[in-house]
């Protein structure tokens, strides 16, 4: 699929197109039909790789608002779609042709419907002003290509394959001019659809408080949408200009009703991270990563890293071909990945049949590494649990890797059914409450006081007011 797309891009004729927003002619490699073709393929890939959040009501709610904004945009006739993807990251993105996405992870950070409209309007702006199309054009013409990906995710093939074109949209970085233009268009479209246009600067203000990287591997909005703090000051006067009696809806209660109960953090379908433990109730497997390591869970694999080092662990899976022994599967997979085996033996890992080997190879952006990898069979499925580090570090880190690899186990149906995701809920502040006390007493320590404050549009130093209805995160 990737090959087909790249070929398509290279075969596109160089043409001038009229920018629907500015009305000016500009160099573009893409016609509207080509935008649609790219969008359709990227959309299929995004849905497959990230997953669609399985809540029809939330989908319909976001889509209804998106369609109202799109109707006010410069390209009302594109086949617009608005999708909430099943990712805990705080993100929103768009691909050419009218495909707009927000993550379920962004919902708890939005204050009201006007902020949601601001985010959707901003992304609509990237599509109508053809920012992404220009990016794709630049990639095709200038060979920027998909190499952008490997900056964020160390290339660990065959364990990781995030380098697909659909997901590369997550790594597109727009320039400051594109961002300011989209902020302005977001204000314009939101106001046109009757929303309070201050939703744009208010959400930028929240974003400025959120740290620069997501907790779970998928880069968040900040990594692709630079400088939210400096954009607040630009967006505010524009929003003030567009505000009117017919553009003032915030619909906070409707918004709260719509997002009540939304999953926060990891989901059952993609596995749950609790501290350094990873539990996948749907696959019925669990693993304890080394104490203090940062765990990054994506739909494709789970990765852990010792902070500040190049020491990694990966959990991934391969299919076991019929009639093949686990040793053969392991040797083949590692050889194909370019690893040479130093030693290896059939072992039991938590009572499961496994092949545990020591390998040498190289990982892009890390260099030459030594890797301990266990291939563990459960039915037809083979799980790969690997730990690796630069050759010179491996000896020192192996005392942490070995027990972590051997902690991999199958969990019972009962244990799986006890795992519940965290969910968004609401709480009315009482006199004497602080973010700290609410996070601990009401939220059970699931979220920190500062996360809670940011989620509600405050600094942790501003205390919540008694009587206010605030968002909290509770154990499902």
Task: Return residues touching Zn ion (CB under 5 A).
Answer: 182, 225
What does the alpha-carbon distance between residue 398 and residue 133 come to, in Å, rounded to a whole number? Answer: 46
Residue carrying structure tokens 């970085």: 173
Are 342 and 359 in contact by the 8 Å Cβ rule? The answer is: yes
For residues 265 and 451, the answer to whether their CB atoms sit within 8 Å is no
Residue 175 or 237: which CB sits closer to Zn ion? 175
Minimum Å gap between C-beta 152 and Zn ion is: 18
- Residues in a beta bridge with 95: 99
Residue showing the smallest CB distance to Zn ion in the complex:
225
Which of 225, 311 has the CB closer to Zn ion?
225
Between 88 and 186, whose beta carbon lies closer to Zn ion? Answer: 186
How near is the Cβ of 82 to Zn ion at its closest, in Å? Answer: 16
Q: Which is nearer to Zn ion, 92 or 442 (CB)?
A: 92
> Which residue lies nearer to Zn ion by CB, 103 or 182?
182
Shortest Cβ distance from residue 405 to Zn ion (Å)?
41
Residue 304 and residue 295: Cα distance in Å, rounded? Answer: 4
Q: Among residues 186 and 271, whose Cβ is nearest to Zn ion? A: 186
Phi, psi of 322 (to 5 degrees): -55, 135
Least gap, CB of 322 to Zn ion (angstroms): 48
Least distance CB 162 / Zn ion (angstroms): 21
> Residue 176: which residues within 8 A CB-CB, separation 6 or more?
226, 227
Contact (CB, 8 A) for 265 and 278: no
Q: Which is nearer to Zn ion, 225 or 372 (CB)?
A: 225
* CB of 133 or CB of 182, closer to Zn ion: 182
Find the shortest distance in angstroms from Cβ 291 to Zn ion: 38
The rounded distance, in Å, linking the Cα atoms of 384 and 403 is 15
Cβ at position 413, least distance to Zn ion in Å: 44
Which one-letter DSSP state was computed for residue 83? E
Among residues 174, 160, 156, 159, the alpha carbon closest in space to that of 310 is found at 156
Q: CA–CA separation, 400 vs 77, rounded Å?
A: 57
Query: What string of DSSP letters covers 265-284?
Result: S--TTT-EEETTEEEETTTT
DSSP 455-476: HTT--TTSPPPTT-EEEEEEE-
Is the Cα dihedral 445, 450, 453, 456 positive or negative?
Answer: negative
- Smallest separation (angstroms) from Zn ion to the CB of 358: 46
Nearest 5°: the CA angle 103, 274, 429 is 70
Q: Are strands 381-390 and 367-378 parallel, antiparallel or unpaired?
A: antiparallel
| Other beta carbons less than 10 A from residue 430's beta carbon | 12
Residue 92 CB, shortest distance to Zn ion, in Å, is: 8
CB nearer to Zn ion: pick between 208 and 411:
208
């Amino acid at each position: 699929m990737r090959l087909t797309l790249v070929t398509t891009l290279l075969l596109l004729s160089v043409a001038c197109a009229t920018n629907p927003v500015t009305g000016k002619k500009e160099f573009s490699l893409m016609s509207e039909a080509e935008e649609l073709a790219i969008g359709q393929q990227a959309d299929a890939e995004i849905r497959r790789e990230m997953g669609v959040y399985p809540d029809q009501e939330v989908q319909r709610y976001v889509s209804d608002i998106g369609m109202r904004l799109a109707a006010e945009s410069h390209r009302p006739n594109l086949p617009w779609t608005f999708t909430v993807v099943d990712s805990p990251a705080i993100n929103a993105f768009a691909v050419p042709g009218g495909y707009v996405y927000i993550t379920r992870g962004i919902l708890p950070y939005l204050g009201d419907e006007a902020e949601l409209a601001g985010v959707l309007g901003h992304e609509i702006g990237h599509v109508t002003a053809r920012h992404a199309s220009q990016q794709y054009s630049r990639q095709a013409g200038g060979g920027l290509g998909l190499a952008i990906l490997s900056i964020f995710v160390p290339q660990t093939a065959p364990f990781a394959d995030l380098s697909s074109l659909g997901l590369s949209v997550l790594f597109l970085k727009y320039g400051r001019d594109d961002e300011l233009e989209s902020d302005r268009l977001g204000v314009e479209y939101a106001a046109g659809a009757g929303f309070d246009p201050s939703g744009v600067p208010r959400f930028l203000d929240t974003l400025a408080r959120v740290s620069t990287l997501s907790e779970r591997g998928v880069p968040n909005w900040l990594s692709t949408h630079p400088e939210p703090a400096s954009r607040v000051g630009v967006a505010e006067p524009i929003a003030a200009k567009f505000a009117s009696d017919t553009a003032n809806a915030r619909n906070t209660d409707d918004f709260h009703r719509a997002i009540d109960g939304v999953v926060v953090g990891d989901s059952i379908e993609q596995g749950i991270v609790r501290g350094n433990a990873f539990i996948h109730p749907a696959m019925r497997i669990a693993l304890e990563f080394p104490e203090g390591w940062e765990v990054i869970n994506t739909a494709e694999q789970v990765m852990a890293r010792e902070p500040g080092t190049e020491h990694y662990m990966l959990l991934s899976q391969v299919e076991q071909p019929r009639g093949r022994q686990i040793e053969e599967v392991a040797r083949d997979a590692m050889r194909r990945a370019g690893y040479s085996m130093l030693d290896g033996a059939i072992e039991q890992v938590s009572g499961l049949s496994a092949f545990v080997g020591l390998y040498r190879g190289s990982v892009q952006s890390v260099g030459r590494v030594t890797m301990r990898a266990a291939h563990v069979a459960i039915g037809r499925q083979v799980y790969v649990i690997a730990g690796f580090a630069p050759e010179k570090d491996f000896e020192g880190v192996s005392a942490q890797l070995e027990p972590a690899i051997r902690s991999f186990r199958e969990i019972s149906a009962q244990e799986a059914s006890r795992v519940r995701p965290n969910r968004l809920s609401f709480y009315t502040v009482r006199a004497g409450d602080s973010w700290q006390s609410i996070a601990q007493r009401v939220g059970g320590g699931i979220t920190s006081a500062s996360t809670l404050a940011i989620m509600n549009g405050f600094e942790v130093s501003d205390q919540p007011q008694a009587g206010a209805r605030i968002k909290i995160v509770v154990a499902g």
